Amino acid sequence: MIYVSEADPDEEGYDLAFEPRNVFVKRKDPKSDYKLGEELGRGKFGIVYKCVEKKSGRQFAAKFINTDRKDDRLAVEREVDLMRQLQHPRILQLYDAFDDGTSEMCLILELIEGGELFERVICDDFVLTEKACSIFMRQICEGLEYIHSKNILHLDMKPENILCVSRTGNRIKLIDFGLARKYNPKEKLQILFGTPEFVAPEVVNYEEVGFGTDLWAVGVICYILLSGLSPFMGDSDLETMANVTSTKYDFDDEAFDAISEEAKDFISKLLLPDMRKRMTTTDCLTHPWIKSTKRRSMAVLDKSKLKKFVIRRRWQKAVNAILALKRMGATLKL
């Protein structure tokens, strides 16, 4: 059985995977510097492979992103610009970037092999407790605090974008800055993208977004991690977004019977309709549920509903990947 360590991850000697690098897009074929290995995953963005840097022998992940349109290429260049500003142990690190003039660009990224957080915790040999959840949520907030300190909004916080560094440790990293934006609080920023289950009311209503937009998603992620239930999920995207704008949710399900009042309070102070009233990342890190050194309940949480949630998300990702491949002109044999 895998029990999450209660030791502070910062005390385990962990540091950045490699030295800080000022990455710029190189105008050449990445295969000139890297040898590609096995495929690690694919989605609507493209394909990720394990790779080895030829001159050093170091292992990385090579993310090939479809850039058929000029806007796609500009989006990847923006992602590179943001990621080179984000050098922190809680954030996936960018090592290299390439554009060889074809229909795709390549990002060389730190290799993380622990898998998605939710996928890992639903494994039968993983013991999920409220204490373990608070450890994971603290690290998520630490990563976001650093991102926000750089005046950057992630804008795509969801379980798939939280990875475990290893299969046995308790460290996580935030990934995927494809939708991230530089943020100037003095300028109005509006967006119309995101995953319906995790977008904040201001996104659905096409109102001004800000740091609190990311914190709404943190509240949703915490709610799901503790209970396996999605607080605003409807039978369709339209119904889900209507539920988000109504901001109606509760802790009435039996899944919350074993959850502390402090944990519920943490969620309640994030799932507020007015983003200006939500906790900041600093507020989150000083909240009693996160900060307290008291031993949280070590009672094992029932993961049956969380497993169902993860299975549903797998199907959604599979369908999205198939649709993306079809858009790229792939012929699928099913």
- Which among 67, 106, 109 has a CA at the least distance from the CA of 86? 109
State the residue for tokens 């984000």.
86
**Are residues 26 and 99 in contact, defined by beta-carbon separation less than 8 angstroms?**
yes
Most confidently modeled range among 60-74, 143-157, 160-174: 143-157
| Domain final residue, candidates 77, 109, 141 | 109
CA–CA gap between residue 5 and residue 132 (Å, rounded): 8
- Residue 209 is given by DSSP the state -
Please tell me the predicted confidence (pLDDT) of residue 170.
87
**Which residue segment(s) compose the domain that 104 sits in?**
16-109
* Beta strand 2-3 pairing with 181-182: unpaired
Say which of 96, 156, 176, 214 is annotated catalytic. Answer: 156
Stronger pLDDT, 167 or 115, i.e. the higher one? 115
144 plus 283 within the same structural domain? yes
Residue 333 lies in a domain: no
Each residue's pLDDT tens digit, 245-262: 999 999 999 999 999 999
pLDDT above 70: percentage of residues in the chain: 89
Question: Which region among 18-22, 119-123, 235-239, 284-288 has the lowest average model confidence (pLDDT)?
Answer: 18-22
Number of folded domains in the chain? 2
- SS3 call for 187: coil
| Angle at the Cα of 90 from the Cα atoms of 87 and 92, rounded to 5 degrees | 60
Averaged over 212-223, what is the pLDDT? 98
- Within a domain: 329: no
> Do the Cβ atoms of 222 and 267 come closer than 8 Å?
yes
The whole-number pLDDT of residue 330 equals 47
We report the CATH number of the domain holding residue 26 as 3.30.200.20
Average of pLDDT values for 216-235?
97
DSSP 30: G
Residues 174 and 272 occupy one common structural domain: yes
Same domain membership, residue 269 and residue 191: yes
Q: Are residues 280 and 166 in the same domain?
A: yes
CA distance 151 to 181: 9
Q: Does the active-site annotation cover 96?
A: no
Percent of the chain clearing pLDDT 90 (strictly above): 76
**For 154-194, how does the pLDDT look when each residue is reduced to its tens digit (9 = 90+)?**
999 999 999 999 888 889 999 999 999 999 999 999 999 99
Instruction: Note the pLDDT of residue 268.
Output: 98
pLDDT at position 78 is 95
DSSP-derived pairing of the beta strands 126-127 and 2-3: parallel
Residues 275 and 171 in one domain: yes
What pLDDT, on a 0 to 100 scale, did the predictor assign at position 325? 46
Domain annotation covers residue 33:
yes
State which of 75, 109, 143 marks the end of a domain. 109
What pLDDT, in 10s, does the model give residues 299-309? Answer: 889 999 999 99
Mean pLDDT taken over the chain: 90
CATH number of the CATH domain containing 226: 1.10.510.10
Residue 318 located in a structural domain? no
* pTM of the predicted protein model: 0.91
